[in-house]
Every structure is written in C-alpha cells, then in structure tokens.
Amino acid sequence: MSTGVRRRMGVDERRQQLIGVALDLFSRRSPDEVSIDEIATAAGISRPLVYHYFPGKLSLYEAALKRASQDLASRFAEPHEGPLGARLLRVMRRYFDFVDEHGPGFSALMRGGPAVGSSATNALIDSVRQAAYDQMLSHLGVAAAPARLELVVRSWISLAESTALLWLDGRRIPRAELELQLVHDFAALAAVSAAHDEDMAALLKTMVKGEPADGPFAELVGRLISLGS
C-alpha cells in the first residue's frame, strides 16, 4: 500500500530528470518557446528549484543538448558486417528516427537556437559530425583519409543534415525515400570523386565489391541505366 510519501531525489538524479523533461519539451517545440515554468511544472517541482540545479535555461539547454548529441552520435555506430550499402541504409534510418523524435530541437540547433554560437554548443555539434566521420572511415576500412575522401565524407554528412532539415519543413517527401536517396548520394559523391582520382577509384571498387543485386548501390546503378533507355 502506498503511503503517499514522495521519495527525495539526489542531486544527480534530479538533474538527469530535468534534462529528460527538457529534452521531451524541446522535442515538441523549439527551445526558444519552452519556459523554465513549463519545465518546472512538467518535472513536478517549483521554478526556484530548477534554478537550484541549473543557473538558467541556457545551461539546461546545453545539458540537454549534450545528452541528445551523445544519442545522435551513437546512431552512426553499426556492426561491420554485410554489404556497405545496407549498413549505410540502417544508419540513415536510425538518424531519421532521431530527427523524427526531436524535430523542433534538431531544427533549432542546426538553424539557430538559444545556445547556438556558444563554444560548448559548437563543440557538441562538431563531436557528432566527427563521430559520423570516424564511423564512415571505419566502414570504409580507412585509417587516415586522403583529401578527396575527407571531402566526400564530410560533404555527405553536411548533406544529411540539410536533407533532414528540409524534410522537417513540411515532410513533403516520404522519409524512407530520403533515407535511400542519401545512401545513393554517398555512392554518387564517391563515384564523381573517383572519376578524378585513382585512389578514390580503387576505393570505389572496394565499396561495391560484394554488393548484392538487390542492394542500395546496385539499385542506384539500375535506376541510372534506365534513364538512358
């Protein structure tokens, strides 16, 4: 039988609760539109108590952003098993899962929000991009990327961000189509670079080696061939 006595949270537990509450609210509305009063109400505590754990909304936003960035970075982790095209497609599905779940917060972060421009926020954003970059090199079996490969991978990561932001603005294109298109985009960027560089050409051959006939890369080739028929 419940006594109705509420358990007192420790400092770290309360901070984690507030971060979770803030993330939930930021996932539904832009952080600019969420007040400390709303966060306090959702957490079941008073406004002054929120300030006891965080100096202001900016510090709470940065803490929430740190947790979200760790979550987003983890979406790029993928076992090195099976064809590369299928692996990238699974990564894109998890990436868009995050974008779908945290739409307003993701949009505010990339387009400009209450903490954008701060050194802490920029470092978190860069950490996600670097995690994605490192994962891509790992899947390609490259320890240190030559200049053209770095250009391809970093350009593709920026393209994924831009595509996600445009998709959030009305969701006019089916999400699954964009996930597949981004996998095709990576192959296309690599192919164009391969036309200008022997090392990229060798890497492209390694990329497509062993790709199944029903895989994303083979599908792209089939679609391109059909355009000329």
Residue with tokens 């900016």: 58
pLDDT of the residue at 65: 84
pLDDT of the residue at 67: 87
DSSP 2-42: ---PPPPPPHHHHHHHHHHHHHHHHTTS-GGG--HHHHHHH
CA–CA separation, 184 vs 187, rounded Å? 5
Q: 30: burial class by Cβ within 10 Å (0-12, 13-18, 19+)?
A: middle
**Can you give the pLDDT of all 229 residues of the chain as single tens digits?**
444 445 577 888 989 999 999 888 888 887 788 899 999 999 999 999 999 999 988 888 888 888 888 888 899 999 988 999 999 999 999 999 999 998 887 877 776 555 555 677 778 888 889 999 999 999 999 999 999 999 999 999 999 999 999 999 899 999 999 999 999 999 999 999 999 999 999 999 999 888 998 999 888 888 887 887 6
pLDDT of the residue at 3: 45
pLDDT of the residue at 106: 82
N residues, the chain: 229
CA–CA separation, 208 vs 217, rounded Å? 7
